[in-house]
A and B are shown apart, each in its own frame.
Chain A
């Protein structure tokens, strides 16, 4: 059965800390891995990763895919309270089906 697992389930850090969120997958016919941020509303797209070892970066957020290990990490440096959210990882197969993890809930305290 295709599945995506995220860890940790939740995380509480202080402002300024650096966090690493993990996503591992077992999905046949992998095409891409996506990261989303979900606050109290709809998810917003962060990154799409298709190739191993190529880091995608946006401000304090970065992500990398390891196809050998079937995993990806999302790093957030110098965290701010506005980073508090649920971070979702999704894997898309070549049949264009999406498999989501249950998310990591990040709380950043001042």
Chain B
């Protein structure tokens, strides 16, 4: 158990809908990273927050947004969902703003029908 929690574990929704994925980092970790893992594209970096501020953006679609709250938990919002958004979404945390050891959560499996 990495100490990073993600909810929900599974999510099934329809195209066009909006969902929110939640991540609680390890106690004391200030950084939260979001990743998308699909069969055809592998693991893709989406976005990084450090202590409430956006630090880096990767291949995050405009339909997706994220934020990190004062208590350091983070939410990833996915809207106007498409079939291709079906994937495993991981959150990871680290104690700094750099690229040191990241601890991954168990992931949220999203299925868009």
Residues of A near any B CB (own CB < 8 A)? 31-32, 34, 41-45, 48, 88, 90, 92, 95-103
**Min CB distance, B59 to chain A, in Å?**
9
**Min CB distance, B53 to chain A, in Å?**
12
**Min CB distance, A67 to chain B, in Å?**
16
Q: What is the interface residue range for chain B against chain A?
A: 20 to 34
A28 to B43 CA separation, bound complex (whole angstroms): 19
Q: Is A34 a contact partner of B99 (Cβ separation < 8 A)?
A: yes
Q: Which residues of the partner chain A approach B92 to less than 8 Å between Cβ atoms? A: 42
Q: Is A48 a contact partner of B99 (Cβ separation < 8 A)?
A: yes
A-B contact pairs, 29 of them (CB 8 A): A31-B99, A32-B99, A34-B99, A41-B106, A41-B107, A42-B2, A42-B92, A42-B104, A42-B106, A42-B107, A43-B43, A43-B104, A44-B104, A45-B101, A45-B102, A48-B100, A88-B42, A90-B43, A96-B48, A96-B56, A96-B98, A97-B58, A98-B33, A98-B45, A98-B99, A99-B45, A100-B45, A102-B42, A103-B42
